Amino acid sequence: MARIGNFKSSHGTVETPNIMPVINPNLVAISPRRLWEEFRTKIIITNSYIIKRTEGLKDEALEKGLHDILDFPGTIMTDSGTFQSHVYGEVDLDPIEIITFQEAIGSDISTILDRFTEPDDTREVAEQKVKDTIQRARQATSECEGSIALPIQGSIYPDLREKCAKVLGDLPGTLYPIGGVVPLLEDYRYDELVKVVMSSKKGLGPKGPVHLFGAGHPMIYPLAVLMGCDLFDSSSYIKYARRGDLMYPDGTRNISDLEYLACNCPVCRNTDIDGLKDESDEKRTMMLAEHNLWISYMEIGRVKQAIREHSLWELVEQRARGHPSLLDALNTIHGYWKFMEKFEPRGRRRALFYTGEFTFNRPLVKRILHWIEEDYSPPVKDAPSIVFNGKYLGKPYSRYLTKELEYLLPDYMVNLLVNTPFGLIPLELDGVYPIAQSLFPGYVSYGEIKDLVVWNGKETLESLEKGKGMSLDEMRVRSISDFQFCKGAGSILSDGKLEFVYNRKGGINNILLDERHILSVRAYDGLFSLKIPGATLLKDKLPPPILRIKVNDDSAEYNSQGKNVFAKFVLEAWEGIRPSDEVLIVDRNDDLVAVARAMLNKEEMNVFDKGMAARVRQGIER
């Protein structure tokens, strides 16, 4: 669910995920101009309630505009006073008056005056606040023309959060903040934060961008981005500095407890702990605020890089080891694996790294293990299964079992399993991500093998009956196709004479059925690339909408020429499509026009009106 995007306003483009330093117009710590020039900050957030109630500042803002009085050329978001109602009690503001004021002073993103739901609100109170928030959102979006942020409320009640998000998502909002979470963040109630964010995301869907209000500490960024949050506002950089605290990705340390500055940010690089302690209170506070901001931007950079290289789950698991509350949150997030799995590709170009027992609960891992347990059909019906112990083998396991396989296949009616850190895996899946593309330390348990025939050479052969079985490569076609495409695809793609083209290392490059090239093997994840003959077979034998993306007539014409599919032209997509899946592009009449690789899942294709839905690999001239 993590994503890198571009958020555009009339004052530039902001790459997300990103942070918005909070600027108090009456108490500026680091000037917006310095943020722009030195920290390369593209977006900030300030409070329109404070501006409106401050004599002189209000008139200046109305006369000169927000960007002029703050001296910031980038994007500016304004809050409405809702947080002040949490701190001081209900504020005396008219919801429409404050939103029109924000537009009048030139805010790039104005926020409605929502009702802050407290974690200890009763359900009845939270329900009423949600109703008020929705009513104000409807009024604001109908009466105002600018970009509007619609905060999602609902306290700690998942169904209220989901309902609020679903209703607000149907309104023409620009940004969807998740509000009312500051008390959870302050009290390290991260497991409850996960429930709030995930229920909000379930209701909202892939719409966005999503802003997590009050999440100013870098230790929360990897987890929040993993759940699909895009923007964070941070006043923590100055609040923590004023009490002598330095923020780090793994927690907070007070300057009085430090003997070394274990940091390479510009501030810490140019001083030492003694020099920092010797500074005046004002100077030291400023230096700590700068350190905290640098650390925040560095962590956002790490998160972005992790998204690009497909290692964000590893980063989240590593960070979770730094605080017990983050471990609670990680444990909670695994309960949402079926929802998160919809956004996970079946394969990746980077090997899976084991970081602890939580690794087995990642959605991508849970998906294949759940499929093996619930949907896997052994290639040879009513045949015994033989288990090989993979603990002392390299990967893929079958490469180290050539002699054993020569004894068994295809002369014996058997199915083959291998014991792995993931559990018992069909041997024909040993090259599929993440079975082969994974790194585990030596101490990880391979589990016990019970009630199955364990390979024991000649003794095992003597216990079996001979009969016409399958080659391992035939098994691969059947099982991998069923896993990758849908149940039954393996039978379709193996109904005839199979031939295999091998590479120098003995691995399969191409697969032919009745002399037609139907599949190629992707080297990096062991899955298949569909060729036109294979796609035609699947289209003819599988009922709509399975495996399909249906496009309008204009798009179909272009896609047949090899041009990519864009989301706004998609009429319908199959629920089972995941990003990077091989898909069939069809027209209104279900005629095949191209074979492509999906870039989005069905939900994203339904929501997005920009961007690529599928990358066409081969079109069919019409």
Same domain, yes or no: 566 and 440: no
Asked which of 333, 367, 392 is the last residue of a domain, the reply is: 333
Name the amino acid, one letter, at 164: C
The dihedral over CA atoms of 482, 487, 488, 492, expressed in degrees to the nearest 10, equals -40
79 included as an active-site residue: yes
Residue 608 has pLDDT above 90, yes or no: yes
Q: Tell me the CB-side half-sphere exposure of residue 153, using CA atoms within 13 A.
A: 30
**Does 18 share its domain with 113?**
yes
> Are 305 and 390 found together in one domain?
no
Best CA proximity match to 565, nearest among 515, 573, 266, 216: 573
CA distance 173 to 189: 29
Domain span at residue 102?
Answer: 5-333
62 lies in the same domain as 122: yes
Q: Look at residue 445 in the predicted model and tell me its pLDDT.
A: 87
pTM above 0.85, yes or no: yes
- The two three-digit tokens of residue 196, written as one number: 């709030």
What is the share, in percent, of the chain residues with pLDDT greater than 70? 100
Instruction: Give the residue-averaged pLDDT of 210-228.
Output: 96
Domain containing residue 111: CATH number? 3.20.20.105
Which entry of 59, 68, 79, 94 is annotated as an active-site residue? 79
The band of 164, judged by pLDDT with boundaries at 50, 70 and 90, is: very high
SS3 353: strand
Asked if residue 514 is part of any domain, the answer here is no
Q: How confident is the model at residue 246 (pLDDT cuts 50, 70, 90)?
A: very high
Q: Look up the CATH number of the domain holding residue 596.
A: 2.30.130.10
Q: Select the highest-mean-pLDDT range: 289-293, 381-385, 408-412.
A: 289-293
Sheet of strand 423-426: strand arrangement: 423-426, 415-420, 385-389, 453-454
Q: Domain check: are 306 and 389 in the same one? A: no
Does 488 reside within a domain? no
Among 315, 333, 351, identify where a domain stops. Answer: 333
Q: What is the pLDDT of residues 482-516, one digit of tens each?
A: 999 999 999 999 999 999 999 998 899 999 999 99
Q: Is residue 46 part of a domain?
A: yes
Q: Let me know whether 178 and 318 are in one domain.
A: yes
Regarding whether 241 and 150 lie in a shared domain, the answer is yes
Q: Which residues pair with 247 in a beta bridge?
A: 252
Q: Which of 300, 315, 333 is the last residue of a domain?
A: 333
What is the per-residue pLDDT across 346-394, written as a single tens digit (0 to 9) for each?
Answer: 999 999 999 999 999 999 999 999 999 999 999 998 899 999 999 989 9
Question: CA–CA distance from 318 to each of 222, 294, 466 (Å)?
Answer: 10, 21, 50
Mean pLDDT is lowest, of 169-173, 364-368, 461-465, 557-561, for 461-465
Q: 25 preceded by cis ω (within 30°)?
A: no
Domain match, 257 and 155 both: yes
Task: Tell me if residue 211 falls in helix, strand or coil.
Answer: strand
- Please indicate, yes or no, if residue 526 is contained in any of the structural domains: no
Query: Residue 390 and residue 398: Cα distance in Å, rounded?
Result: 9
Considering the domain boundaries, does residue 480 fall inside one?
Answer: no
> How many domains is the chain built from?
3
Asked if pLDDT for residue 146 goes beyond 80, the answer is yes
**553 lies in the same domain as 454:** no
The model's confidence at residue 13, banded by pLDDT at 50, 70 and 90, is: very high
Q: How confident is the model at residue 234 (pLDDT cuts 50, 70, 90)?
A: confident
Residues 303 and 399 reside in one and the same domain: no
522 belongs to a structural domain: no
Q: Are residues 434 and 573 in the same domain?
A: no
The Cα–Cα gap between 52 and 59 comes to: 8
Q: Output the pLDDT for position 452.
A: 85
The residues that bridge with 246 in the sheet, in sequence order, are 253
CA 601 to CA 584: how far, in whole Å? Answer: 14
Q: What is the pLDDT of residue 361?
A: 96
Q: Which pLDDT belongs to residue 88?
A: 65
Residue type, position 284, single letter:
R
Check pLDDT > 80 for residue 85: no
The Cα–Cα gap between 421 and 434 comes to 11
For 336-354, how does the pLDDT look when each residue is reduced to its tens digit (9 = 90+)?
999 999 999 999 999 999 9
Asked if the structure places residue 571 within a domain, the reply is yes
Please tell me the distance from the alpha carbon of residue 8 to that of residue 86, in angstroms, as a whole number: 30
Domain contains 9:
yes
Tokens 């903040």 correspond to: 177
Q: Which of 134, 109, 102, 103 is nearest to 16 (CA)?
A: 109
Q: Indicate whether 537 pLDDT > 90.
A: yes
Q: Do 216 and 90 share a structural domain?
A: yes
What one-letter code names the amino acid at 344?
E
| Average predicted confidence (pLDDT) for the chain | 95
